[in-house]
Structure 1
Amino acid sequence: MKESSSKQEGGVYNPLCNMNDKGSCRKRKLNEDDNINNDINEEDNNLKRKKQRKDIKNIRQIMNIFNGIFNWIVSKGMNRIPCREIENINDVDFFNFNNVLSKHYGSRIIFVTDDSISKSENILGDDNKVGWITRRRRDVGHEWLIIKLKHPSIIYGIELNFDNIAEDVCPHLSIEVSENNSIDDIIKEEEFILNERDKVGNFTTFTKNEIEDNVGDNTKVEKNKDMENIKNLDILKDTENIKNEQTIKRVDNIKNIHGTQNIVNYDKNSKRKSYNFLDSYKIDKSISDLLEQQNTPWVELLQADCVDFLKTVGKKKTYYFKINNEDLIKKPWTHIRVNLYPDGGINKINFFGEFISIFKKHTIISKQKIFLNKPENGCTLIYYHCDHIYKGHPKYIIDSYKTDGFCTRRLINRPPIILRTLTNNSICNTSIFKFGVRGIVENFSIDIGNYKYDHPECIQIYLLDCIDILTLNLLEQKKIFEEDEKLLKKKIQWIQLPPFKITTTNQKKTFFHFNLLEYNLTHMERTATHFKISILPDGGISQINVIGTVLSTSL
């Protein structure tokens, strides 16, 4: 009985223990169990600590590997940053070039996810209109737009302006470029599908089979086009989606209703101000797939993490970025994509570069006369040196949209009484332009416009024919001419044309023609890739046009 009772109490039978020592035996047994449990727990804790130390060691090793890889990528990619910010405006070396993004040259917005507050087209203008400002985005994604350039263009620098939109500045933005004219077709196709879908109430479409089912199994659509048109019209009139005579009239005028889909509730205003994420993603995916298939993917010019624009709000309104990758300034681009992260706005965007002339690949002398000086044909200001410009810019004299050209200040060393010409005492006000192609010059047309009382006394024009310089990029050409103009004895051999004097006997006359054919100059003497113009002693010019024909070139 003792043995059984002892076992029933849960203890191990010990013959040395009597009934009086029953409590002490139980206590000893509990202490032994506690010691065993403590030993087990301590072993478990030791195993856990060993495992944790091992895991920490493995994590540290993995982190060291990733840090090494990251540092290697950063060190390898330091020279591959597409562009860098220029803090000092005096260090900007691309202001001479044309703003290829200007809407005056034909650039336009072909897609934008949202411009509910301010139109996206405003970023392309030179006026005082507030730029592109989007809604406050509440769904996933970010705002973006695509710009189509009128002509393929090479980009050397970017200017971003955030004036007048301090409360709507986007935190970050990135800029991408591509060369593929098929982007336009993809966007038109996808927008057409979305707009047609939106014409239907509640995004509902009616197929031919659905119309037949609504009428009944006994109703059949006749093969005759006219009968089918009438029957479908009667069915559509019974639906809740047709509620006005204008829509009924549109359905009455439908011809050839034999497609698989008939859309109702037509909306005249098909231009959308905003796209949700799914719609914009569908268009984005279609464009990306096309570019990947044709091996013309988006190339990043400006990285999203280059600047945090919110940190400099109120302190800085304009940012300048120079393309740092030489491979990027060798390629012409047709489309530009601007991404705002996640929303906000930007006032103006300027892209400085050159247009690629459509005549660049000509291999024979063209009989068609063109304006060799037009930016659209590739003409660009390379270098200029003026005493002081108080109005305009020398690059405006070749731009038909900038009618004011430029004007210098009055000669500071002019005598109290003018006794003879001042051309010999003048400071050299020189501008050098490059043509988009090699051409044969026939005529110069000079317009003094608003400067008929501030015109120069004499205009000196020089021509240069040098394909080797023309094949270089604009920055390299600028460096060559800048160094040569500093020399007293020039290394570059310009052909000096007869000086052209402007007479003002007729105050109403502002156009002057300088015809080279009247000077018996040969074709070789009139062949040029560059031209230089100097105004003596000072004054202003509104426009200058260079008319000629395209010569064969190896470009």
Structure 2
Amino acid sequence: MTDHSFTRFINMASPRLGAEVIFATDDFFADKSRLIKDEEAVFIPGKYDDNGKWMDGWESRRKRGQGFDHCILKLGQAGIIKGLDIDTSHFTGNFPPAASVEACFSNADTPGEEAEWIEIVPSMNLNGDSHHLVAVENDTPFTHLRLNIYPDGGVARLRVYGEFYKVWQESDYGKEMDLLAMENGGRPIIANNEHFGVLSNIMQPGKGINMGDGWETRRRREPGNDWAIVALGHAGEINRILVDTAYFKGNFPESISLQAARVAGGTDDSLPVQSQFWEELMPRQKLTADAEHTFESELNKLGSISHVRINIYPDGGISRLRLFGTLDKE
């Protein structure tokens, strides 16, 4: 993956998903927990604390000896990493000249000496006040990351894009669950427009927190409708659907329909063309403002599916989409 298309995946380093910075060799100037805040980093002129200038990120003191600083991040659950953003926004004279990233799989909260750390991003140069987007080519599931900075300095944010890795148990079969939930391995593939809110938001856990915490397109000024494609965490049969337009009051879609298929072969890039001809899982249904809409009898029985195309008419935003169903054993 030579481009930056990995940013369409979920940020697995979000505290809302259970991620936590559990260790730093030094965070004298800026607390390590700020490194993974969901909000974009800010700079507040004139704001100081007892240790000096307040910075929105993780910042160590100036190193006066050999070695380098590092911090360890624990993901909410194991995941396959597709790419990283090492963001030095607002760090200009105090950013690290270089960084590298290692990862490991550990059942412990804090990996012990037996942990096998694998380098997923070799040492690379950093610039001040910049985003550094780096693709990762490794399909191994990891639970922890170690960000090394050479030799010291500050990083505003670390974003870890990928998909959660779910180990299915025998007891999961026959149990109704949200097969699109990101914690169950659901992932966004593509949306024709994400001007005001990214597609991955609709599979976040819990209720949306505001209008920005959903998928929202720009105002459509031409014929047609907006659409998106998502992949279930496991193929299965959908029995019930919840569409939540929480906080979308003057900008919710007039209606929504869903198409679906059990996809075999091809690539994510080939799905938009194929999806036009998928069968209708749910015919077009009216939506209302700031409300949960449950659909069950309206669904067509398609059997086992793996991918869903979301059609919203003509545009607008939805907060959450829940696709409740049972796993397919095949």
What is the TM-score normalised by the length of structure 1? 0.53
Give, in whole Å, the separation in 2 of the partners of 1:391 and 1:131.
Answer: 25
Task: Point out where structure 2 has 5 or more consecutive residues left out of the alignment.
Answer: 43-55
Give, in whole Å, the separation in 1 of the partners of 2:109 and 2:291.
Answer: 45
Give, in whole Å, the separation in 1 of the partners of 2:282 and 2:152.
Answer: 58
**2:199 match:** 394
Give, in whole Å, the separation in 1 of the partners of 2:101 and 2:8.
Answer: 22
Q: What displacement does 1:477 show?
A: 3.4
Give, in whole Å, the separation in 1 of the partners of 2:76 and 2:299.
Answer: 38
1:548 maps onto 2:325 in alignment: yes
1:439 maps onto 2:216 in alignment: no
RMSD of the TM alignment (CA)? 2.4
**1:461 match:** 258
Give, in whole Å, the separation in 1 of the partners of 2:38 and 2:299.
Answer: 43
**1:322 match:** 135
Q: Is the 8 A contact 2:229 2:272 kept in 1?
A: no
Listed one character per residue, the Cα deviations across residues 282-336 of structure 1 (whole Å, up to 9, x for unaligned) are xxxxx2xx13xxxxx32111112x22x2xx43xx51111112x4xx1x2111111
Q: How many residues align?
A: 312
Q: Which of 244, 249, 269 is the equivalent residue of 1:452?
A: 249
**2:140 match:** 331
Q: For 1:95, what is the secondary structure of its paired residue?
A: helix
Question: What is the identity, as a one-letter code, of the residue corresponding to 1:339?
Answer: N
Task: Point out where structure 1 has 5 or more consecutive residues left out of the alignment.
Answer: 1-82, 187-286, 292-296, 414-424, 470-475
Listed one character per residue, the Cα deviations across residues 316-359 of structure 1 (whole Å, up to 9, x for unaligned) are 51111112x4xx1x211111111111111100011111001232
Q: Note the 1:388-427 alignment, pairs <5 A.
A: 389-400=194-205, 402-403=208-209, 404=211, 405-413=214-222, 425-426=223-224
Q: For 1:138, what is the secondary structure of its paired residue?
A: coil
Q: Which of 350, 357, 363 is the equivalent residue of 2:159?
A: 350
Q: Is the 8 A contact 1:364 1:551 kept in 2?
A: no
Give, in whole Å, the separation in 1 of the partners of 2:233 and 2:95.
Answer: 38
Q: Is the 8 A contact 2:196 2:216 kept in 1?
A: yes
**1:283 match:** none
Q: Note the 1:50-199 alignment, pairs <5 A.
A: 91-127=3-39, 128=41, 130-182=56-108, 184=110, 186=112
1:480 maps onto 2:270 in alignment: yes
C-alpha distance 497-162 of structure 1, shift in aligned 2 (>3 A): same
Q: For 2:6, what is the secondary structure of its paired residue?
A: coil
Q: Is the 8 A contact 1:442 1:526 kept in 2?
A: no
Q: Note the 1:218-297 alignment, pairs <5 A.
A: 287=113, 290-291=114-115, 297=116
Q: For 1:497, what is the secondary structure of its paired residue?
A: strand
Q: For 1:123, what is the secondary structure of its paired residue?
A: helix
Q: Is the 8 A contact 1:439 1:528 kept in 2?
A: yes
1:501 maps onto 2:282 in alignment: no
Q: Is the 8 A contact 1:152 1:356 kept in 2?
A: yes
Q: What displacement does 1:183 show?
A: 7.0
C-alpha distance 465-459 of structure 1, shift in aligned 2 (>3 A): same
Q: For 1:126, what is the secondary structure of its paired residue?
A: coil
Q: For 1:499, what is the secondary structure of its paired residue?
A: strand
Higher relative helix content: 1
Q: For 1:118, what is the secondary structure of its paired residue?
A: coil
Question: What is the identity, as a one-letter code, of the residue corresponding to 2:269?
Answer: K
Question: What is the identity, as a one-letter code, of the residue corresponding to 1:357?
Answer: K
**1:377 match:** 184
Give, in whole Å, the separation in 2 of the partners of 1:321 and 1:514.
Answer: 41
Give, in whole Å, the separation in 1 of the partners of 2:309 and 2:26.
Answer: 46
Q: For 2:103, what is the secondary structure of its paired residue?
A: strand
Give, in whole Å, the separation in 1 of the partners of 2:81 and 2:32.
Answer: 21
Q: Note the 1:35-46 alignment, pairs <5 A.
A: none
**1:71 match:** none
Q: What displacement does 1:182 show?
A: 4.4
Q: For 2:196, what is the secondary structure of its paired residue?
A: strand
Q: For 2:200, what is the secondary structure of its paired residue?
A: helix
Question: What is the identity, as a one-letter code, of the residue corresponding to 1:375?
Answer: M
Q: What displacement does 1:140 show?
A: 2.8
Question: What is the identity, as a one-letter code, of the residue corresponding to 1:371?
Answer: D
Q: Which of 511, 523, 528 is the equivalent residue of 2:305?
A: 528
Question: What is the identity, as a one-letter code, of the residue corresponding to 1:298?
Answer: W
Give, in whole Å, the separation in 1 of the partners of 2:33 and 2:103.
Answer: 18
Listed one character per residue, the Cα deviations across residues 429-457 of structure 1 (whole Å, up to 9, x for unaligned) are 11111111122211111111222322222
Q: What displacement does 1:394 show?
A: 1.9
Give, in whole Å, the separation in 2 of the partners of 1:183 and 1:539.
Answer: 41
Runs of 4+ in structure 1 deviating by more than 6 angstroms, as ranges, are none
Give, in whole Å, the separation in 2 of the partners of 1:533 and 1:432.
Answer: 6
Question: What is the identity, as a one-letter code, of the residue corresponding to 1:397?
Answer: I
Q: For 1:412, what is the secondary structure of its paired residue?
A: coil
Q: For 1:546, what is the secondary structure of its paired residue?
A: strand
C-alpha distance 520-531 of structure 1, shift in aligned 2 (>3 A): closer
Q: Is the 8 A contact 1:363 1:551 kept in 2?
A: no
Q: Is the 8 A contact 1:365 1:552 kept in 2?
A: no
C-alpha distance 407-139 of structure 1, shift in aligned 2 (>3 A): same
Q: For 2:16, what is the secondary structure of its paired residue?
A: helix
Q: What displacement does 1:400 show?
A: 3.5
Q: Is the 8 A contact 1:156 1:353 kept in 2?
A: yes
Question: What is the identity, as a one-letter code, of the residue corresponding to 2:270?
Answer: I
Give, in whole Å, the separation in 2 of the partners of 1:498 and 1:340.
Answer: 50
Listed one character per residue, the Cα deviations across residues 489-543 of structure 1 (whole Å, up to 9, x for unaligned) are x5xx522134232254xx6x6111111xx25744xx1422111101011222121
Question: What is the identity, as a one-letter code, of the residue corresponding to 1:379?
Answer: G
What is the TM-score normalised by the length of structure 2? 0.86
C-alpha distance 521-461 of structure 1, shift in aligned 2 (>3 A): closer
Give, in whole Å, the separation in 2 of the partners of 1:183 and 1:519.
Answer: 44
C-alpha distance 156-390 of structure 1, shift in aligned 2 (>3 A): closer
